[in-house]
Amino acid sequence: MRSGPILLLSLCCLSFRHVDDGTGVTRFAQTASVPSIQTDIPSLCTALASDFPLGAAIWPGALTGLHGELLKKHFNSITAENDMKWQHVEPVEGKFEFGPADELVSFAKANHMLVRGHTLVWDQQNPTWLFKDVQGRDMTPTPENKALLLQRLSRHIRAVVSHFGNDVYAWDVVNEPIDPSQPDGFRHSAWYRITGTDYIDTAFRVAHETAPTAKLYINEYATTNPRKRGLLLKLVRELKNRGVPLYGVGHQMHVNLDYPRASAITQTVHMFAAAGMDNQITELDVSVYQNDQQRYSSAPTALLARQGYRYRDLFRCFRKLKGSISAVTFWGLADDHTWLAHYPVDRPNWPLLFDAALQAKPAYWGVVNPRRLPRRK
Ligand code: XIL
C-alpha cells in the first residue's frame, strides 16, 4: 500500500482544472501534478497474461507523460473513449477526421498493444446531418429515408473500418440496441424508427465484408438484468439464424460496489457462451455510489477498501470464465478522468484502479494481489 508521505504528497498535488473530455464540452476534472508512477508494483497485464488482454479506454491526454507511462506498464490493449465515435470521425458527411484516433493506434502499435474499436453505430454522439433527409428535415420513417440512412451507414462503416484495417482487432459494431422498457425490447433510436432492425444486420455485414478477420461485437450495458439479457439473447439468436457475422457480446460492466453479484455475471456469460458467443468485458468501472443522490467530496477510505474487495471478486469471476471471456477493458485509466464524474449526475467518483495521482488503490491490489487489501473492519 501507499506510504504516508507519498499519500500526503499525492493529496497536496490534487487540484481542479478545466478539461475537454473529448465531447467538446469543457468540464471540471480532478487532476493532479503527479510526482511519478509506481515502478515497484506488478504490471497488471503481465499478471493477467495467461487469462486475457487487459485494456483501458482513454482520451488523447492519457497517451503522454506519466499517464502514458502508466498505460504502457499496466495495459496491453486500448480503446478510444470517444475518438472513434461517429460525431468525431465523420462530423460532416464524407469528411473523415481520423487524427486523434490515428495517434491512439500509433501509440498502440509502438507499444505492442491491441486496439478495440468503439463504436460504429450508436444512438448517441452522432452528427446532426446523419438523421436529416435530403431536404434537411428530421428523417421520418419512409422507404426513401430508410434507404438513405442505410447507405450512409454502409459508407461510414466501410470508410472507418478500412481506414484502420488490421490495426483494430475487434469492433463494437452496434452499441446498446436493447431497451427492456419497450414492449418489443428494442431501443427506439432514430436507427430503429427509420430502419427497424435492418441497421443492425447491415452494420455487421458491411463491417465483416470490409475487415473479414475483425471480431465483431454487440455491446450492451446491464446484461445481467434478466429481461434485458433475454431480449439480447433473442436478438443474438435471430442474427445468427439470419447469417449475420456476429462474433460476440460486449458486456459494458458499469457496476457498483454490490450490484450485480459475481454469480449473476457468471450465469450471464455462460448463457451467451452457450449461444455460441464470445464475451468481452468492455467498459468496466466500479462506482462508489448506490444511487443518484449520494455525493462524497472526497473518497471515503472504507469505501475504497470495499471497492478493493469488489474488484477482487470481479476478477476471480472473470478469471474463472477465461475461455468464455476473451478480453477485459476498463472505462478509463485513473480516477482523474472518468465519465462517472458527469454521469448520471455531476459528482466526484473514484471507479478505477489508480487514484487521481496515478497511484495504486486498494482496487488495484484486489486485482493483482488480494492479500495486500486493507483488513476488513
Ligand atoms: C462515454 C464517454 O466516456 C464520455 O466521455 C462521453 O461524454 C459519453 O460517452 N457507454 C458507452 C460509452 O458505450 O461510449 C460511453 O462513453 C459510456 C457508456
Grid coordinates representing 321?
Answer: 470464465
The residues, ordered by sequence, that sit 6+ positions from 195 with a Cβ below 8 Å of its Cβ are 146, 149, 150, 202
Q: To which H or E segment does residue 27 belong?
A: strand 26-32
Grid coordinates representing 250?
Answer: 460486449
Ligand 1 pocket test: pick from 343, 345, 349, 352 the residue with the most ligand atoms within 8 Å of its Cβ: 343
352-353-356 Cα angle (round to 5): 75
Ligand 1 pocket test: pick from 123, 339, 352 the residue with the most ligand atoms within 8 Å of its Cβ: 339
pLDDT for position 3: 35
The answer to whether 60 touches 83, Cβ cutoff 8 Å, is: yes
Grid coordinates representing 223?
Answer: 446484461
pLDDT for position 305: 98
Grouping H, G, I as helix, E, B as strand and the rest as coil, residue 69 is helix
Q: Does the Cβ of 283 fall within 6 Å of ligand 1?
A: yes
| Alpha carbon of 221 to ligand 1 centroid (Å) | 11
The answer to whether 56 touches 333, Cβ cutoff 8 Å, is: yes
pLDDT for position 9: 35
Strands 26-32, 14-20: pairing kind: antiparallel
Which residue owns the Cα nearest ligand 1 atom 17?
Answer: 339
List 187's β-bridge partners, or say none: none
Q: Which regions in the chain score pLDDT beneath 50? A: 1-29
41-329-284 Cα angle (round to 5): 95
Is 97 a known active-site residue? no
Q: How far apart (Å, rounded) are the C-alpha atoms in residues 132 and 125?
A: 15
Grid coordinates representing 327?
Answer: 478480453
pLDDT for position 357: 97
Is 144 a known active-site residue? no
| Alpha carbon of 79 to ligand 1 centroid (Å) | 12
Place of cell 433475454: 230
The distance from CA 288 to its chain's CA centroid, rounded to whole angstroms, is: 18
Q: How far apart (Å, rounded) are the C-alpha atoms in residues 127 and 186?
A: 22
| Alpha carbon of 339 to ligand 1 centroid (Å) | 7
Q: How many CB atoms lie within 10 A of CB 7?
A: 14
State pLDDT tens for residues 88-118. Answer: 999 999 999 999 999 999 999 999 999 999 9
Grid coordinates representing 40?
Answer: 515497484
Q: How far apart (Å, rounded) are the C-alpha atoms in residues 355 and 146?
A: 47
List 327's β-bridge partners, or say none: 280
| Alpha carbon of 296 to ligand 1 centroid (Å) | 22
Which residue owns the Cα nearest ligand 1 atom 4?
Answer: 339
Distances in Å between the Cα of 292 and the Cα atoms of 289, 303, 346, 347, 352 are 8, 17, 10, 10, 19
Q: How many CB atoms lie within 10 A of CB 302?
A: 11
Sign of the four-CA dihedral 126, 127, 130, 135: positive
State pLDDT tens for residues 318-345. Answer: 999 999 999 999 999 999 999 999 999 9
Q: Does the Cβ of 252 fall within 6 Å of ligand 1?
A: yes
Which residue owns the Cα nearest ligand 1 atom 13?
Answer: 175
pLDDT for position 376: 79
The answer to whether 190 touches 131, Cβ cutoff 8 Å, is: yes
* CA contacts within 13 A on the Cβ side of 353: 28
